[in-house]
Structure 1
């Protein structure tokens, strides 16, 4: 017997299991603003291989019909919301890595050397080079939200190095113990 307005206990799912989800995203940003991923639609991936292919074809066709800014992605997640979160987080991380690389490259184009402060959340910098770690940290409004490291034309940064630095700084910020990322000397 169940109380009116409540689901019987047999229908409540207390343990969530990973499943594949199809996510339609829109990566189109507003002019003058930082691009942001908007999740437009999420649905679980079909179990049957024939249905799965038909499902993919239908959603991919919907994306093509809607315009160039929509994409169909696949994630392993425990819920619709988790799949949407993963799609947004992936885009934010990739955008931060790209911005960090651009900030470093901007300084290296002029042959500059020094310490740079990069905001962990978005990969942006204040645009300044500093004489050392302490100077870079002291110049920041929220120093705990930044990562600091030296740059030099003798050691160019790759996108993978930027990604590893931001991942390391994020884990460090969260209080987890991690191994440091190797850097050029």
Structure 2
């Protein structure tokens, strides 16, 4: 297993829809193992294949709730259904999120509170995940990556302008920027 470099905003693989995974091969299994290692080293709660430069429709996730119950897995070729969003503005304390591909920052973003995701696991078996709260947020965030959408593409105009200023200051927004957890840290 290996910790992989995480692409930063501006890399073309992050801004284009990913392709479906065909056959689940040893190469796919190795990719998933490396993604878990990378996600844990970052540390993050989710990691989509495009974030490590692979334009395939799969992501890993992990989350521990307040009681310490672990929730961890991989989903391949996911489909996502969401409960409609509640109207209003996001709460900056409870609805802010960050991204390993826009590291060191977080912005408020309203997400659906409940989702269902279907797909397959590493054995090709069908998977259905129905979750709410932060787990639903993680599913939506990672699914967006598979469609070439970063969370900063969804934030309000004021925060989007702030994110663009940050990206410009750090030299992001163009190909060639990445960071490797445990080896280097992104500029903050």
Same fold (TM over 0.5): no
- Which structure ranks higher in relative contact order (CA pairs < 8 Å, sequence separation ≥ 6)? 2
Q: TM-score range by the shorter chain?
A: under 0.3
TM-score, scaled relative to structure 1: 0.19
- Which has the larger Rg? 1
More helix by share: 1
**Under a length normalisation based on structure 2, what TM-score does the superposition of the two structures give?**
0.19
Higher strand proportion: 2
